[in-house]
Amino acid sequence: MGTSVAPGSPRAMWALGDYHRFAKATVWEFGEVLVDACGVQAGQRVLDVAAGTGNTAIRAAQRGASVVASDLTPENFDAGRREASASGVELEWVGADAQALPFGDGEFDVVTSSFGAMFAPDQQAVADELVRVCNPGGTVGMVNFTPRADPFFGLLAAYLPPPPPGALPPTAWGREDHVRELFGDRLSPLELTRHEYVERAATPDDYVALFEETFGPVVAIERSLAGDPGRAASFAREFRELARNANAGPPGGPAEYPYEYLLVAGRKPAR
């Protein structure tokens, strides 16, 4: 991966804020969920795609696997290396686009992605790459937000640069029919199960503040609107309204945000 990062690019966007702080406050537990679903074992070679700061990669390494954590945004790897070291494991960190992975066919026994590869615009290319680098007899596993998260991602999409023409929303990866179509018969059996989890903050405003301080896409939007106070105020108002309306917590707090995700676990048939 080159060292110059185009301003406004997806990589520049995901490098903003403090992704590791965000992940620890929200999705960190899913590393454990995904390595369990994929049955990761000692001695296996595991690739975690769009690994962020390693929530899944680190858990796989703790099971004794030999792990490569790859992501479009190597700016976040130092935080991941520190977390891995504090967790007593070492992994390899490789800058890579999920749509064109720099690995050979069948290099990995298990290929994972937690709320990560779903954000690459060419979903078919991602599915093809996850299957290609998986060894026959190996496992591909993902956790993906379902379309229930569309009000949130739709708000961000309204203020971010448009995706390439024809790109589907990331949450299409949370639809069973779409995932079956993307993988075709190349993963069999392919188990798809929906689950819920809850994110919490003391108040809706604290929940918004977490995103404004740490979540790259929100930081990118607010920076891009710095010269447009009217639109900046609209985004701030809409985000706060969404956080108030979506709060399912008890009166008096804490604020609670239920999310739904699709757990994907498929076997690439042995030759």
Is 220 among the residues that bind ligand SAM (CB under 6 A)? no
Give the one residue of 37, 38, 46, 50 binding ligand SAM; rule: CB under 6 A.
50
Owner of token pair 């070492």: 90
Is 14 among the residues that bind ligand SAM (CB under 6 A)? yes
What is the total count of residues that contact ligand SAM (CB under 6 A)?
A: 20
Whole-number Å distance between alpha carbons of 230 and 249: 31
Owner of token pair 């390693």: 54
Owner of token pair 């604020």: 255
Give the one residue of 99, 203, 234, 247 binding ligand SAM; rule: CB under 6 A.
99
Is 261 among the residues that bind ligand SAM (CB under 6 A)? no
Is 146 among the residues that bind ligand SAM (CB under 6 A)? no
Give the one residue of 61, 120, 187, 242 binding ligand SAM; rule: CB under 6 A.
120
Is 98 among the residues that bind ligand SAM (CB under 6 A)? yes
Among the listed ranges 44-52, 177-185, 193-201, 244-252, the one in contact with ligand SAM (CB under 6 A) is: 44-52
**Closest CB to ligand SAM among residues 71, 109:** 71
Is 152 among the residues that bind ligand SAM (CB under 6 A)? no
Is 55 among the residues that bind ligand SAM (CB under 6 A)? yes
Residues in the chain: 271
Least distance from ligand SAM to the Cβ atom of residue 271, Å = 28
Write the interaction track for ligand SAM spanning residues 64-93; mark x where CB under 6 A is met and - where it is not.
-------xxx--------------------
Contacting residues toward ligand SAM, per CB under 6 A: 10, 14, 23, 27, 30, 50-52, 55, 71-73, 97-99, 114-116, 119-120
